[in-house]
């Protein structure tokens, strides 16, 4: 029987230069990320790091995407991260939520959030 593990990285905070406006690309801003991934795990039985998908490795991938690259759209940023995770790790499901607290909207709101997910049904 398969053992499915779910790992969640919650409310990661990064400073990046993503957005359509020139000010967003030059001044940058704060981004918040929630990431969840599932995989078949023998680590549940064996307690070995090499039998899991290290959340440190996944964090580093997300950090690089948020701080070393630039995207106009949160959708593209999220899609890039999901695709990178799927290409590097044997995940069965990935879901990312990216929040942008400071948005150029003439109104009051907490944040804008984009969610991208991929799993077996989206193959």
What CA–CA distance (Å, rounded) separates 26 from 64?
Answer: 18
Burial per residue of 43-72, b for 16 or more beta-carbon CB atoms within 10 angstroms, e otherwise: beeeeeeeebbeeeebeebbeebbeeeebe
The one catalytic residue among 2, 25, 69, 100: 100
How far apart CA 45 and CA 105 sit, in angstroms, is: 50
Verify whether residue 100 is a known catalytic residue: yes
Q: 40 — phi, psi (to 5°)?
A: -75, 125
Q: 18: which 2 tokens? A: 């993503």
Q: Are 71 and 18 in contact (CB under 8 A)?
A: yes
Catalytic residues: 100
């Amino acid at each position: 029987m398969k053992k499915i593990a779910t790992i969640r990285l919650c409310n990661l905070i990064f400073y990046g230069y993503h957005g359509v406006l020139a000010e967003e690309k030059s001044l940058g801003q704060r981004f918040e990320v929630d990431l969840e991934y599932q995989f078949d795990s023998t680590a549940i039985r064996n307690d070995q790091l090499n039998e899991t998908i290290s959340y440190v490795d996944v964090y580093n991938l997300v950090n690089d995407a948020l701080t070393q690259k630039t995207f106009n759209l949160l959708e593209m940023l999220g899609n890039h991260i999901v695709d990178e995770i799927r290409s590097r790790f044997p995940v069965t499901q990935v879901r990312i939520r990216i929040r942008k607290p400071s948005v150029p909207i003439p109104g009051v709101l907490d944040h804008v959030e984009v969610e991208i997910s991929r799993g077996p049904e989206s193959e």
